[in-house]
Chain A
Amino acid sequence: MLASLDWSVLWQRIFHPDHEFVLALWRTIYIAVAAQLLGVILGLIAALMRMSRLAPLRLLSGLYVLIFRGTPVIVQIFFVFYGANLLLGVTIIPNSVNLGVFQLDGKAFAGILALGINEGAYMREIFRAGIDSIDKGQMEAAKSLGMPSGLAMRRIILPQAARVIVPPLGNEFNNMIKTTSLVAFIGVTELFQNAEIGLSQTFKPVEYFLSVAFWYLVLTAVWSVIQAWIERKLAVSERGEELSWRERIAAAWTPVAAWGRGAR
Chain B
Amino acid sequence: MDARRRLGQGRAVSSNDLCVRAVDVDKHFGRLHVLKSVSLDVAKGETVCVIGPSGSGKSTLLRCINHLETIDGGRIEVNGHLIGYRERNGKLVEDSDKNIAKQRCEVGMVFQRFNLFPHKTALQNVIEAPLKVRGEAKERATRVGEELLARVGLADKRDVYPGKLSGGQQQRVAIARALAMRPALMLFDEPTSALDPETIGEVLAVMQELAEVGMTMVVVTHEMGFARRAADRVVMMDEGQIIEVGTPEHFFTAPTHDRTKQFLSKIL
Known A-B contacts A137-B111, A155-B132, A239-B163; A148 and B119 likewise in contact (beta carbons under 8 Å): no
Flag whether B2 is at the interface (Cβ < 8 A). no
Q: When the two chains form the complex, which single residue of A137, A147, A239 contacts B133, counting CB atoms closer than 8 Å?
A: A147
0/1 per residue, B40-59, Cβ < 8 Å to A?
00000000000000000000
- Interface stretch, picked from B97-105, B141-149, B198-206, B257-265, is B97-105
Residue of B nearest to A240 (CB): B163
B177 interfacial contact with A, CB 8 Å:
yes
Specify which chain B residues have a CB less than 8 angstroms from the CB of A240 in the assembled complex. Answer: 163
Chain A residues lying within 8 Å of B105, measured Cβ to Cβ, are 145-146
Is A159 interfacial (CB-CB < 8 Å)? yes
Which of chain B's residues have a CB closer than 8 A to the CB of A238? 118-119, 161
Residues on the B chain within 8 Å of A150, using CB: 97
Would A140 and B104 be within 8 Å (CB), given that A145-B178, A148-B98 are in contact?
A: no
Q: Are B132 and A147 in contact, CB atoms less than 8 angstroms apart?
A: yes
Q: Is A141 an interface residue (CB 8 A)?
A: yes
Residues of A within 8 A of B (CB): 135, 137-138, 140-151, 155-156, 159-160, 237-240
Chain B residues touching A, majority SS:
mixed
| Contact with A144, one of B68, B97, B118, B128 (Cβ below 8 angstroms) | B68
With contacts A141-B111, A145-B128, A145-B177 taken as known, whether A160 is within 8 angstroms of B133 at the C-beta atoms is: no
B104 CB, nearest partner CB in chain A, Å: 5
A137 to B, closest residue via Cβ: B115
| A interface SS class | helix
A148 and B101 contact, Cβ closer than 8 Å, known pairs A239-B161, A240-B163: yes
Residue from A145, A160, A239 within 8 A of B129 (CB atoms) = A145
| Bound Cα distance from A223 to B119, whole angstroms | 26
Asked, given contacts A141-B111, A239-B164, whether A146 binds B68 with beta carbons under 8 Å apart, the answer is no
**Contact status A239-B118, CB under 8 Å:** yes
Cα separation A143 to B84 with both chains bound (whole Å)? 12
- A1 CB to closest chain B CB (Å) equals 55
Point out the residues of chain A lying under 8 angstroms from B117, CB to CB: 138, 141-142, 156, 160
Kindly name the residue among A135, A137, A148 whose own CB sees the greatest number of chain B CB atoms within 10 A: A148
Assess whether B115 is in contact with A140, with CB atoms less than 8 Å apart: yes
Q: Render B215-258 as a binary contact track against A, CB cut-off 8 A, 1 for contact.
A: 00000000000000000000000000000000000000000000
The answer to whether B132 and A143 have CB atoms under 8 Å apart is no
Q: Does B171 contact A (CB under 8 A)?
A: no
Cα A66 to Cα B187 with chains together (Å): 43
User: Could you list 11 A-B pairs, sorted by A, with CB under 8 Å?
Assistant: A137-B115, A138-B115, A144-B68, A144-B104, A145-B178, A146-B101, A148-B101, A149-B97, A155-B128, A238-B118, A239-B164
Chain A proximity of B69: nearest CB distance (Å): 10
B residues less than 8 Å from A138 (CB atoms): 115, 117
B169 at the A interface (CB under 8 A): no
> Counting CB contacts under 8 A, is B152 at the interface?
no
Which residues from chain B contact A147 at a C-beta distance below 8 Å? 101, 129, 132-133
Is B133 touching A159 in the complex (CB atoms < 8 A)? no
Nearest CB of A to B51, in Å: 22
Give the shortest distance, in Å, between B126 (CB) and chain A (any CB): 10
The verdict on B109 contacting chain A, using a C-beta distance below 8 Å, is yes
B168 at the A interface (CB under 8 A):
no
Q: Which of B115, B129, B161, B162 is A146 in contact with, Cβ under 8 Å?
A: B129
